[in-house]
Amino acid sequence: MYNYCTLFDSGFLTRGLAMYESLSKYSKNFHLYVFAFDDNCYHLLKQLNNQNMTVISLLEFEDEQLLRVKKNRSVAEYCWTCSPSVIKYAIVHYDLDNCTYLDADIYFFSDPAVLIKEMKDSSVMITEHRYTPRYDQSATSGKYCVQFMTFKNDHNGMIALNWWREACIEWCYSKYENGKFGDQMYLDDWVTRFDGVHELQHLGGGVAPWNVQQYNLTDHSFVLVFYHFHNYKFLKNDFVELGVYELDENDLNILYKPYTKHLEDISIKLKKIDSQHDYNGIVLKTAFHWRIPFRIIKRKIKGTYNVFRRQKLLEL
């Protein structure tokens, strides 16, 4: 059995469901533990009653240590703070022998079991950003990405997980400070700090906007396992933004068009259940700044202005 866990709130629910449904398509022997970070998310997921999914509320999950720091962190910072805690909760509460954390905005194109099998006897697996050189942010964001991480319920796995949880409770903010950034720069020295840590080698795991420029997605010998749809945003008036990295026609056709269509299908299904709430996290407006028009022009010149009307993207 492959055990996975993730966390998201109602504004990320369509993406979380897309991740779950893509996992269901390729992986049959799995279970996903979803930590619902608001009541609307929890109640809707419980109503859907998805197979191979257990939904955990904040009331069940949060402990005194997390609640103590929650009030001093933004929504995103608190989610990052909780990353190791949701993994530990799933392992301990459900007596799992392994658990893989998934960011809710990743999407599977083949069975991720091949990635976990690569660990063999290791206790922890971490995934590199593998930045394209012109986008390299390792110095301020870290070498590794908290997007797909596996922990075994053994001595070495739990030592690393408990250390990470305590570190994130102590400090986890959306800024670079003294070699730390959010929850992920803590991972930079794990291959030497802890025993039994494996660095994922399969190039089909961890494909993302910041490294997709290195890949030929039309090469039939390349096996894409998952893509991380980082910074995919729903904008008002039926527009979507695909992030700030250069994307080519193959990226749009192979990755973003099917993902956008899947999100649309899920949105339609959810509206039939609950038409009162936004489960896409639509960005209604951005605070005006006089530099914004110049930034847009600069992005258009560099080919990184990835804002599309949703229907136009589907027709490209």
Structural domain includes residue 214: no
Structural domain includes residue 215: no
- Predicted confidence band of residue 314 (pLDDT cuts 50, 70, 90): confident
- Predicted confidence band of residue 304 (pLDDT cuts 50, 70, 90): confident
* CA-to-CA dists, residue 179 to 69, 124, 163, 182, angstroms: 21, 22, 16, 10
Residue 108 confidence (pLDDT) above 80: yes
List pLDDT tens digits, range 120-171. 999 999 999 999 999 999 999 999 999 999 999 999 999 999 999 999 999 9
DSSP letter string over 252-288? IIIIIHHHHHHHHHHHHHHHHH-SSS-SS--B-----
- Predicted confidence band of residue 283 (pLDDT cuts 50, 70, 90): confident
- Predicted confidence band of residue 119 (pLDDT cuts 50, 70, 90): very high
Q: Which domain does 113 fall in, by range?
A: 2-199
- Compute the average pLDDT of residues 94-104: 98
- Report d(CA 8, CA 11) in Å as an integer: 8
* CA-to-CA dists, residue 46 to 41, 49, 54, 96, 180, angstroms: 9, 5, 9, 22, 36
- Predicted confidence band of residue 312 (pLDDT cuts 50, 70, 90): confident
Rg (alpha carbons) of the chain, rounded to whole number:
19
**What are the backbone dihedrals phi and psi of residue 288, each rounded to the nearest 5 degrees, phi first?**
-70, 140
Q: Is 8 helix (H, G, I), strand (E, B) or coil?
A: strand
139 and 83 share a domain? Answer: yes
89 and 176 share a domain? Answer: yes
183 and 50 share a domain? Answer: yes
